[in-house]
Amino acid sequence: MDSQFGTGRAPGVELDKALTFRTVHEEVAGPKWQSLFHYHWPAYEPWYLAEGERERPSYLECHNALRQHMPELLGTYRTLCELAGGGDLSSRLLSLYRPPPYITGCSQAVLARPTSTVLARNYDYPPELCEGTIIYTRWNQRRVIAMSDCLWGVLDGMNDSGLAVSLAFGGRKVVGDGFGAPIILRYILEFCDTVPEAAAVLARVPTHMAYNITVADACGRYVTAMIAPDRRASIKRVAVATNHQKKIEWYAHALASETLIRERQLSILVDDDATTDERLISAFSAPPLFRHDYRRGLGTVYTSVYRTKEKLTQFRWPGRVLDLNFDVFPEEQLIVRYGSRGMYG
């Protein structure tokens, strides 16, 4: 792997790792979010400064970028900055404007049938770098359930209009002027109801790295947007995304992540009229989609499933399933362990 794009495994970190997943219900940002910030900040601060503080944009640049590209999000951003203590560095990080580069694995697919639409995904990443927070919010008009990243960004999630989103690394080394994808996904869930609205956001908001964003809505529409800082977004009615864009450009990562193998497996499934929701979902629990490569930071951390018509969410681990929706969202914790034997409860 290129040294600039480390998967994030810190030197000396043991392979065996326990990650506590938490469900947090706080419709208006307040003490629960503040507690999460203080818990995670000691890890985020050195990550944000890893390339030196001068490599990160100033607060004014961050604020102006948000005001230009996602102005509706400014109110929430300011509230969270205040809850975080109003510090310069934390406010810059929370903007997710030009953050440090990072890579993930990930597989995602939409199965659209006349009676149901399912967006399912595996998140492949070093477990010790995942927040593990599934948060229910109503920061603006829409209720949102999402797996959190970078304190308020979104790895995958759904809003109460039935709009679901998921991200995967795009498999390219390019880094440029733009936002981390998790805040773009947060913006979509906060202010969009449909795939066309989300596609418009993905076409215009700049990203700092290459990502593949899959979006599905309650009407059965879906797209995958291949976004990058150096070219226009390619947004098409494609149901499957792994870790490359159109063609392989970073061969070492493609080989390590098995992106072509996973893409082929998912394409076969979604193109088969006999594939049911259950068949697609179960495929994410087995190789090649489910990966045990935790030593290189490319093992599967969790599986998420979004049923857009029913507005149901599900998070899955071997032997464990967590069902959540906008009416039933209990606050609880579960511990998942990752190691040489794979993932286990």
Per-residue pLDDT at 10: 37
To the question of pTM greater than 0.85 for the whole model, the response is yes
pLDDT attached to residue 103: 85
**CA-to-CA dists, residue 287 to 3, 266, 292, angstroms:** 28, 11, 9
The CATH homologous superfamily to which domain 102-325+332-340 belongs is: Penicillin V Acylase; Chain A (3.60.60.10)
Strand partners, 137: 144
Per-residue pLDDT of the chain (345 residues; tens, 9 = 90+): 333 444 333 334 446 789 999 999 999 999 999 999 999 999 999 999 999 999 999 999 999 999 999 999 999 999 999 999 999 999 999 999 999 998 888 999 999 999 999 999 999 999 999 999 999 999 999 999 999 999 999 999 999 999 999 999 999 999 999 999 999 999 999 999 999 999 999 999 999 999 999 999 999 999 999 999 999 999 999 999 999 999 999 999 999 999 999 999 999 999 999 999 999 999 999 999 999 999 888 999 999 999 999 999 999 999 999 999 999 999 999 999 998 666 666
Q: What is the pLDDT of residue 342?
A: 65
- Judge whether 161 and 100 are in contact, CB under 8 Å: no
The CA-to-CA distance between both ends of the chain, in Å, stands at: 30
pLDDT at 109: 98
